[in-house]
C-alpha cells in the first residue's frame, strides 16, 4: 500500500489536515531514504536512520517525535504490523523558550508591508494569536463585525473558538476587502482557493530581514508574541489559554517563563553599581 492509502486512512479517522500532511510527508521521506517498501525495513534499520538524524542532522525533539509517531501509525494502519520503536521517542521535552518579538518590532514588521493584503494577513495573525493554518482557513463569514468576533472553525483538535476582533483590524480588513473583494476565503490565492501558508511565511521572512531583526522569527512567533504581550498587561493565563485554544494550561504556562509584569519591573544589580 502507498502513502496515498495512508492519507485516506488518516482522513477516515478524522486526523487534522495538518497532522495528515505532516505524517504522510515524513513517511514519504523515510521511504525515499530506504528506497524499498517499509515492510522490508527492519526495526534496527529504523533505529540507525533516526540515530543518524539526531547525531548528524541535529533534528529537534519535536521532529524526532513526529517521525516515530508517523512510522508507528503507518505500520499499524497500513501494514497491519506493530513495530517496537517507542524507545526512539524522546524521554523528555526540550525546554527551549519560544522567540518573541517586542511590540515595537511587531509594529515595524507590519509598517514595512506596503501591500494591503500582506499587511492585513500578518496583522490579523498577531492581533488574534492565530496559527498560520487558522488564518488561511478563515472565511468571510467568520468575521462578525456586529459582535466584533472572529470565529476560528475546526482548529487544532477540531475545536471551534471565538476571538475578539480588533477595531483597528476591522478597519484594515474593510480597506483590504474593497481592493481584493474575496468571494469565500478571507485571504484567497489562485482560483479562489485559500491563501498559501508558504506565501505568508515568505512575506514575513522578507519583512523581518528588511527591518533587520536577527531573532529566529516565523509567523508563529507572532502567536507567541500575542500571548506574551497579553500576559505583560495582566491578562489571566487561563484566559490566554482559551484565546490560544490550548487543551492544557501547562502548554500556555510556558509564556510565564518568558515575561511577566513582575519580572519586567526587576532591576539588574548592575544598574545600582
CATH of domain 3-88: 1.10.150.130
* Helix, strand, or coil (residue 267): coil
In this prediction, residues 73-77 reach a mean pLDDT of 90
Provide the residue ranges of all domains of the chain, joining segments of one domain with +: 3-88, 103-263
Predicted pLDDT at 218? 94
Instruction: Write out pLDDT tens, residues 194-216.
Output: 899 999 999 999 999 999 999 99
CA max distance for the chain = 70
- pLDDT for 264 beyond 90: no
pLDDT average, residue stretch 160-182: 94
The whole-number pLDDT of residue 1 equals 63
Which residue intervals of 129-166 are DSSP H helices? 132-137
pLDDT at 206: 96
pLDDT at 3: 85
Least confident of 4-18, 88-102, 104-118: 88-102
Which of 54 and 165 is assigned the larger pLDDT? 165
Under DSSP, the state recorded for 35 is: T
Percentage of the chain modeled with pLDDT above 70: 90
Query: Residue 61: what pLDDT?
Result: 81
**Most confident region among 4-8, 90-94, 206-210, 252-256 by mean pLDDT:** 206-210
Instruction: Report pLDDT for 177.
Output: 95
Min mean pLDDT across 134-138, 190-194, 215-219 is at 190-194
Question: What percentage of the chain has pLDDT greater than the value 90?
Answer: 51
Confidence class for position 246, pLDDT limits 50, 70, 90: confident
Q: Report the distance separating Cα 226 and Cα 175, nearest Å.
A: 23
DSSP string, 56-116: TS---HHHHHHHHHHHHHHHHHTS------GGGS-SS---PPPP---HHHHHHHHHT--SH
Entry pTM: 0.72
Q: What is the pLDDT of residue 181?
A: 93
Active site residues: 131, 156, 220, 223, 246, 255
**pLDDT at site 92:** 61
Q: Could you tell me the pLDDT band of residue 248, with boundaries at 50, 70 and 90?
A: confident
Write down the architecture of domain 103-263 according to CATH: Orthogonal Bundle (1.10)
Phi, psi of 124 (to 5 degrees): -65, -40
Give the residue-averaged pLDDT of 127-154. Answer: 93
Q: What are the tens digits of pLDDT across the range 9-57?
A: 999 988 888 788 889 999 999 998 998 888 888 888 988 998 888 888 8
Answer yes or no: is pLDDT of 94 > 60: no
Question: What integer best gives the mean pLDDT of the chain?
Answer: 87
SS3 31: helix
Amino acid at each position: 500500500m502507498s502513502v496515498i492509502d495512508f492519507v485516506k486512512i488518516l482522513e477516515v479517522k478524522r486526523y487534522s489536515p495538518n497532522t495528515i500532511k505532516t505524517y504522510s510527508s515524513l513517511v514519504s521521506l523515510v521511504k525515499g531514504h530506504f528506497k524499498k517498501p517499509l515492510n522490508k525495513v527492519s526495526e534496527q534499520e529504523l533505529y540507525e536512520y533516526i540515530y543518524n538524524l539526531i547525531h548528524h542532522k541535529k533534528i529537534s525533539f519535536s521532529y524526532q517525535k513526529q517521525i516515530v509517531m508517523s512510522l508507528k501509525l503507518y505500520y499499524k494502519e497500513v501494514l497491519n504490523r506493530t513495530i517496537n520503536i517507542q524507545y526512539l521517542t524522546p524521554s523528555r521535552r526540550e525546554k527551549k523558550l519560544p522567540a518573541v518579538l517586542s511590540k515595537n518590532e511587531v509594529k515595524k514588521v507590519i509598517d514595512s508591508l506596503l501591500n494591503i493584503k500582506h499587511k492585513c494577513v500578518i496583522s490579523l495573525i498577531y492581533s488574534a494569536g492565530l496559527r498560520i493554518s487558522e488564518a488561511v482557513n478563515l472565511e468571510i463569514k467568520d468575521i462578525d463585525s456586529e459582535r466584533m468576533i472572529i470565529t476560528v472553525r475546526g482548529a487544532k483538535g477540531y475545536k471551534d473558538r471565538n476571538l475578539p476582533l480588533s477595531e483597528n483590524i476591522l478597519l484594515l480588513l474593510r480597506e483590504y476587502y474593497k481592493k481584493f473583494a474575496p468571494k469565500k476565503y478571507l485571504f484567497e490565492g489562485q482560483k479562489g482557493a485559500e491563501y498559501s501558508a508558504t506565501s505568508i511565511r515568505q512575506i514575513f521572512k522578507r519583512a523581518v530581514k528588511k527591518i533587520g531583526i536577527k531573532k529566529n522569527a516565523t509567523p508563529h512567533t507572532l502567536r507567541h508574541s500575542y500571548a506574551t504581550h497579553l500576559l505583560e498587561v495582566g491578562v489571566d493565563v487561563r484566559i490566554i489559554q482559551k484565546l490560544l485554544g490550548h487543551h492544557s494550561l501547562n502548554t500556555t504556562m510556558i509564556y510565564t517563563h518568558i515575561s511577566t509584569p513582575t519580572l519586567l519591573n526587576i532591576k539588574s544589580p548592575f544598574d545600582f553599581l
